[in-house]
Structure 1
Amino acid sequence: MLIDSHCHLDFPDLAAEADAVVARARAAGVGRMVTISTRVHRFAEVLAIAERFPDVFCSVGTHCHHAAEEEDVTTDDLVRLARHPKVVAIGEAGLDYHYDFSPRDVQEASFRRHIAAARITGLPLVIHAREADEDTARILEEEMGQGPFPALLHCFTGSAELARRTVALGHYVSFSGVLTFKKTEELRKIAAELPAERILIETDAPYLAPGRWRGKRNEPAYIVETARVLAEVRGLSPAAVADLTTENFFQLFKKVPRDLQVPELRVPA
């Protein structure tokens, strides 16, 4: 079984054909999907997708792009919404210095509120970090000093130093289709050297389609290509990578059940 630890099934181009997307994922061997919240004010849309499919779960949180729009969202709000049985993570939240759609101090304040929610709930914080390696590591280290919390750096494209500091805190690193791109040799080197027990995979669908699908809309079924490349760089079989990343997922996303009854999904031809 493979698991897509990070996708956006509520985004319009996937939500419009959600039944077919989920059916294709199941056919490809994807046993669980986590659809990720980017706006708490639109959380109901994310939750509706998760409630519709027994093998789809969700997070609750505010993406750093939208931090300035949702300064009213409190840690208590996140904790309250996270009580729903389908909510298995906090976020995504973090820092994005590439676009700077929200002021950096606002991004940091939101990031810390999400960390507090992860600490209180015990649910993993899904972290977005782009061109903000030093501040991301600093904040994580400072906050761990205030009390532990589980976390995952999603769609990792950062430095080996950020990966090292993240893993040293006991956190996880997730690789997306970017791992398969021709010019990401350094990223593949990081993926080859990280401790096996700290690695997950994801699609970040509908973005960043891997391998032969590059340039097209991404979807959870395509995670098989990222898993194949990860197997190559680590010298493992695809089956071993599937087992490894699935076990790591369940170790981190403890609220997701290991056993599920998934009824057949009938998709109109």
Structure 2
Amino acid sequence: MLVDSHCHLDFPDFAETLPDILARAREAGVTRMLTISTRVRAFETYRRLSEAHPEVLFTVGTHPHQAAEEPDVPADEIVALSRHPRCVGIGEAGLDYHYDKSPRDVQARVFRTHIAAARESGLPLVIHARDADADVERILTEEMARGRFSAVLHCFTAGRRLAEAGIELGLSVSFSGVLTFRRSQELRDIAAALPRDRLLVETDAPFLAPEPHRGKRNEPAYVAHTARVLAEAIGVGADEIGPLTTANFHRLFAKAAPFAS
């Protein structure tokens, strides 16, 4: 039993082959997939996809790459949309200083709006953080002081300090196929040092396929490879990592629990 806690099944990469992709996920033991919003204005796309496929849940939010497209979506609109029964989280939102596709001040403003929506809705925020560790930590610390909210640092590839800060703030940490790469020993060491009840696994499909599929289009079935490497890194059996990360997912995304297989 595994959950792919972060994928993008609405992307064009999957348009022609989604039924086959979902079938391969089931065969690999992936019982639940969370498809992640990159634009609030695409809400109907995520809604229809989730309603058509019982194993797929979704979130609502604006990716930092698209922050300049949706700079002023209010928190109350995000909260209202999140009331759909199959919408279980807010985001993804955050900061990306690697590509800087949106101005940094706009990214930060949209990030704080999504934190407000997570706080108000009670749903967890999916955080995107790339090459922006210090500012992500600062915003999270400031906002947590204004009122608690739950969140996950998704596709974690940042430094140890951000991982530790996230744990101190009560966040979870999700690992993608990057964990399996030969040169990712430091990342595996970080994973080994984190509390086991805060660990999730994801694909971020169609991106970042794990070994032995690196360089190919990623898909939810491949989360099994990341889970295996995570099990090795933290010192648990291969048969334990699925139940462990699945329980962690449902603890964080509590609204998803009634849909558990």
TM-score normalised by L of structure 2: 0.98
Q: Tell me the amino acid that sits aligned with residue 24 of structure 1.
A: R
What's the counterpart of residue 255 of structure 1? Answer: 255
- Aligned pairs, how many? 261
Output the CA distance in 2 between the equivalents of 1:72 and 1:165: 28
Deviation of 1:243 after TM superposition, in Å, equals 1.2
Are 1:46 and 2:50 counterparts?
no
Residues in 2 aligned to 1:258 and 1:202: alpha-carbon distance in whole angstroms: 20
Equivalent residues in 2 for 1:206-217 (5 A)?
206-217=206-217
Q: In 1, Cα distance between the equivalents of 2:46 and 2:178? A: 24
Structure 1 residues 100 and 259: alpha-carbon distance in aligned structure 2, compared to 1, 3 A threshold = closer
Equivalent residue, structure 2, for 1:68? 68
- Which residue in the other structure is 2:226 paired with? 226
Matched residues in 2 for 1:259 and 1:53: separation? 12
How far is 1:239 from its partner? 1.4
CA shift in 2, pair 1:79/1:228, >3 Å? same
Residue 183 of structure 1: SS of its match in structure 2?
coil
The answer (yes or no) to whether the contact 1:54–1:260 under 8 Å persists in 2 is no
State the match for 2:90 in structure 1: 90
Cα distance in 1 for partners of 2:73, 2:48 equals: 20
Q: Partner of 2:257: helix, strand, or coil? A: coil
SS at match of 1:212: coil
Cα deviations across residues 191-245 of structure 1 (Å, max 9, x unaligned)? Answer: 1111101110000000000011000000000001001101111111111111110
Q: Which runs of 5+ in 1 are unaligned?
A: 262-269
Q: Is the 8 A contact 1:250 1:258 kept in 2?
A: no
Q: Show the counterpart of 1:99.
A: 99
- Offset of residue 246 of structure 1: 0.6
1:257 match: secondary structure = helix
Moved more, 230-239 or 140-149: 230-239
TM-score normalised over the length of structure 1: 0.95
Residue 259 of structure 1 and its aligned partner are, at CA, apart by 5.2
Q: Is the 8 A contact 1:5 1:249 kept in 2?
A: yes
Alignment check: 8 A CA contact 2:32 2:260 kept: no
1:260 positional shift = 5.0
Distance (whole Å) between structure 2 residues aligned to residue 258 and residue 81 of structure 1: 19
Partner amino acid for 2:147?
G
TM-aligned CA deviation for residue 43 of structure 1: 1.8
Aligned amino acid, residue 221 of structure 2: A
> 1:162: which partner in 2?
162
Alignment root-mean-square deviation, CA: 1.0
Offset at residue 258 of structure 1 (A): 4.6
Change (3 A) 1:122 1:134: same
After superposition, the Cα gap between the structure-2 partners of 1:110 and 1:259, relative to the gap in structure 1 and judged at 3 Å, is: closer
1:145 maps to: 145
Secondary structure of the corresponding residue to residue 62 of structure 2: coil
Structure 2 CA distance for aligned equivalents of residues 148 and 105 of structure 1: 23
The letter for the 2-side match of 1:213 is H
- The letter of the residue matching 1:235 is G
| Separation in 1, partners of 2:258, 2:208 | 28
Contact 2:150–2:252 (CA under 8 A) maintained in structure 1:
yes
SS of corresponding position for 2:256 = coil
Task: Give 2:114's aligned amino acid.
Answer: H
Rounded Cα–Cα distance in structure 1 between residues aligned with 2:200 and 2:42: 27
Matches for 1:171-182 after TM superposition, within 5 Å = 171-182=171-182
* Match of residue 21 from structure 2: 21
Q: Which moved more, 1:42-51 or 1:109-118?
A: 42-51
Runs of 4+ residues deviating >4 angstroms: 258-261
Q: What is the CA-CA distance between 1:148 and the residue it aligns to?
A: 0.3
